A and B are shown apart, each in its own frame.
Chain A
Amino acid sequence: MNGKFPRPLEIEIPENLKDWEEMYPPHYIFSKDRESWENRQFWFLDKIHAPDPMYPFDLIFHEAWQIALSQYTTRVFCIPPAQGVAQRIAGCYFYICAIEPPSEETIARKAELFQKRAFHVFQNYKRENYYEKWEKNFRALGEEIKNIEVPDLPTFEPEERVLPVPRGYYSSYDLMEAYNRIIDGIFKAWQYHFQYLNLSYLAYLTFADTVRKLFPSISESVIGKMVAGAYVVMFRPEEELAKLARLAISLGGNVRDILTSDRTPEEKLEELSNFPEGREWIHAFEEARDPWFYVSVGSGWFHYEGSWINTLEVPFSYIKNYIERIEKGERVERDLETIDSEREKLVREYMDLIKNEEDRKTFEDSYNICRDIYDYAENHLFWVEHWFHTIVFEKMREFGRLFTRYGMLENEDDIFLFNRFEIPMIIEDLVTSWALGENIPARSEYWKRKAEKRKDILEKARAWNPPPALGTVPEEIAEPFTVMLWGITSEKVSEWIKGVTYTAEDVTEIKGFAASGGVVEGRARVIRFLDEITELEEGEILVCPNTNPSWAPVFTRIKAAVTDIGGLTSHAAIVSREYGLPSVTGTGIATQVIKTGDIIRVDGDQGTVVILERSG
């Protein structure tokens, strides 16, 4: 391959994935008719958002962000040389690309618009409480979706809908409308998602660039520490659990004993409901439940990850753990005041080191812009990817249950095996047969067969290791999202080329971001999929495509974390710093070259991972 990546149409997709294309919309597939443009771009596997083969319905959030992110960059705030981020799927894996810049003329026109629009937002964001307004709008949207009723199909419409004046439209339409409203809500939510995100990333990158000019080769983790601290909302679910743990202790004897027992969450709730203190605790639990337990157990992007509200074992095991730690005299809450004052001290001491007055003022300006808007980058995450997505998945499961009740599908989660354009067909098939009368067959067998076949394709796709990148390697990448969110830099790209050109066994050292300091050696545990996490043993080094904050229990058991994708503000980086574990992120190829059982050294100061000893 000469150190180059294959062109999109050159990828050899395994035979056993035959018909994978039919799961996704046609504009997601690499094709002859767009070949010359597609060859010219640089496509990389988006393991941060999609480490696993893509379930057809779950693609909807990506469809929505492709449009929204890109539109804000190209049509709304008009970041001059940046275009959108395009997406494709190949063999069930998700690729993205930051597109080549537009013409010089367009750049110039965009520059004017950008200056006016973006600067206005920067100036007013804090002053005019843009964040608070955003949160209010967004939560209203989420509530609206949560309150959509997914109606059942009655044998006969109830009388009140017919008399005295017929309602005019009935359950068949209600069902179709409910679905459409959910879909509309998803697209709208993702438009809101990027309302300030492009600009907050731009402000961060600008500040980081300023700091690097004044303190050459300063580590990104120090820059991260200067702006961090606004990570509050994402930590709120855990804080709520800490409160519930303290309440359990203060309520005394039985509540504490029940919650620290080995019973299931359901049994615990049942027992607690039998006495006043228990009921008081349940009341507090219910109070916190919405919105705070609408937090994904994973990244929030996939229906199969689950959220706390439907995997109660997770919050209940946290509570048990917190109660035990509090009783040992440990502090389980994050000390927000200390975090704030340490950040301020850090920034102040850095400013003291800048001897030139002009430079110091420049630093301060750049810092203030970034600090003002950066809370958006941290806070939106909970509301969109966690709370809102949980609402959507729960709604879709209501449809799934309806489908299984009418024999359209075998299991409620099978609905996620169909893309968002196909589900209306199932709904239409169902309401048609309902409308036609008694014993009218729908094409249930067709849908069930399709579901079975797709399960099989997705399972087989897991065994395939798609190339990390396709198309033409760029000279330089500066598009804010690509750099910041995916940690893609030219160095990363050359590392990937290594991964493509050499066989995994030849590589003994890989590089990534020095995301969290420290050096440790230990046994690697490669976890490619979430459900393999149970195999992890105490004291191993986690090697995975990427992680997210609700993997927290895992981080108490590992020595270090290594990821394929992600920069210094990725979840793995943040959580590792919180837990004081060395971490190297954005290696591109760690899960390909490291095997479970290998002895590796993770150097979180240098951003290197060395394979010291191969297993077996």
Chain B
Amino acid sequence: MGDFVLSFEEADKRKLNLVGGKVSGLGELLKAGFPVPPGFAVTSVAYREFIRYNSLTEKIDELLSPIIESPDNYTLLEEVSSRIRNLIEKSEIPEVIKDEVLSAYFRLGEISGISDPGVAVRSSATAEDMDDASFAGQHDTYLNVRGGEEVIDKVRRCWASLFTPRVILYRIRHGIDHSEAQMGVAVQKMVKSEKSGVMFTIHPTSGRRDVVVVEAVWGLGEGLVSGICTPDSHVINKITHDVEERRISSKEIMVVYDEEKMDNVTVEVPENMKAIPCLSDEELSELVRIAREIEKYYGTPQDIEWAIDGTLKFPHNVFILQSRPETVWSKKDRGPVIGRKSGYDLIMDMALKTFKIPKR
């Protein structure tokens, strides 16, 4: 592929500036052999070419100038943001970029065995601090996009999301020039998520490193991430693979993709699926196995999004959608929990423990 489009396989961490953190993360996972749904990235070079081709820099600067003076005027900010995004969405993408995107999309169809495969189109920020967990969900995501023209349209909309009010404000606050803004866009084959969830290779509440915590819901992971669904939760010992905790929740609602509305909708979970576990034992242990491998590969605890495709057979149905380093516990400088105590100190402590009986 050319400068404007890179397949995930080509988009490892050396290409971070071109494809953004999300895609380079997927590229790394793919390179390491993890089951990532196939796809390609529209690079930041393509974005810059698009801006240049349409001479947008000056136009955007002009629209932005009143905001620079009064960044606290939110009504104004909303209006400016909407006008810039409108401008971007109306601008023409150069043929040369279109061609590369279309042929990459065509190839995705070939390897998937269907023409016009459904894809997810997501922004993938290149500025490192914008890739922070705090920015998750700030940029747009379009699910189940079908057909080359639709894909191109959604790529443009992702670009436009660089100018949502919050992102504009973020750049102003951090003194980043708006002309520096750029992003990659990920175009990834959709997984028909029968169930999905997240997993942590460190216990998110206790910081225990010997477990993998797997949370699972029916349908799409959006239900879990947004907090509207109570997941099944499993604490699995990384080393022995023993299930240490298994909480099967009553799952009332789920988020699924509605083909007609062409959008995610929240629906009631069918009665016979509410109380049963989402994951089979083999799926659970495959997820844990993958989680451990990913953690080993990166050398730090990970926060992983996964999905299981209901149309495929195990183990080919398990997909990793994203893996990020866990930030809370990993950043803590963990001092000693017990400190240096000899075995005899510990024995003495234990031997001195009292056996209390309430007196009448």
Contacts and interface: CB of A to CB of B under 8 A. Distances in A.
Interface of A: 40-42, 79-82, 98, 100-101, 107, 111, 114-115, 118-119, 122, 202-203, 205-206, 209-210, 213-219, 221-222, 225, 346, 349-350, 353, 355-356, 358-359, 361-362, 365-366, 368-369, 472-479, 482, 514, 517-519, 603, 605-606
A500 B79 CA distance: 70
Contacts of B355: 81-82, 98, 100-101, 474, 476-479, 482
A519 B242 CA distance: 12
A101 B336 contact: no
B243 interface: yes
A226 B351 CA distance: 22
A213 B335 CA distance: 13
A119 B209 contact: no
Contacts of B208: 215-218
The 9 closest A-B pairs by CB, nearest first: A365-B343, A478-B353, A358-B340, A369-B343, A206-B350, A475-B356, A605-B243, A474-B357, A358-B336
Nearest to B206: A216
A159 B3 CA distance: 117
Given A98-B355, A206-B347, A605-B244, A358 B339 contact: yes
Contacts of B344: 119, 122, 369
B346 interface: yes
Interface string B199-240: 000000010111000000000000000000000000001011
B239 A350 contact: yes
A325 B159 CA distance: 67
B341 interface: yes
Contacts of B340: 358, 361-362
B245 interface: yes
A471 to B, nearest CB: 9
Contacts of A210: 338, 346
B357 A472 contact: yes
A115 B244 contact: no
Contact of A222 (B242, B351, B352, B357): B242
A362 B360 contact: no
Contacts of B289: none
B342 interface: yes
A353 B301 CA distance: 11
Given A79-B351, A358-B336, A606-B246, 10 more contacts: A82-B355, A107-B352, A111-B348, A119-B344, A202-B347, A218-B208, A362-B341, A369-B347, A474-B357, A519-B246
Given A79-B351, A350-B210, A474 B245 contact: no
A362 B357 contact: no
A345 to B, nearest CB: 8
Contacts of A100: 355, 357
Contacts of B246: 519, 603, 605-606
Nearest to B348: A115
Contact of A219 (B237, B337, B352): B237
B358 A474 contact: yes
B357 A41 contact: yes
B209 A353 contact: yes
5 contacts: A115-B348, A118-B351, A362-B340, A475-B357, A605-B243
Contacts of A209: 346, 350
Which one of B246, B335, B351, B357 has the highest number of Cβ atoms from chain A below 10 Å of its Cβ?
B351
B354 interface: yes
Nearest to B335: A356
Contacts of B346: 206, 209-210, 362, 365-366
A202 B357 contact: no
Contacts of B240: 222, 225, 346
B115 to A, nearest CB: 44
A15 to B, nearest CB: 31
A579 B81 CA distance: 65
A366 B334 contact: no
Given A40-B360, A353-B210, A356-B336, A80 B347 contact: no
Contact of A213 (B338, B342, B343): B338
Nearest to A199: B347
Interface in B243-293: 243-246
Contact of B339 (A350, A362, A475): A362
A605 B357 contact: no
Contacts of A518: 243
Nearest to B353: A478
A404 to B, nearest CB: 47
Interface string B76-100: 0000000000000000000000000
A491 to B, nearest CB: 15
Contacts of B352: 80-81, 107, 111
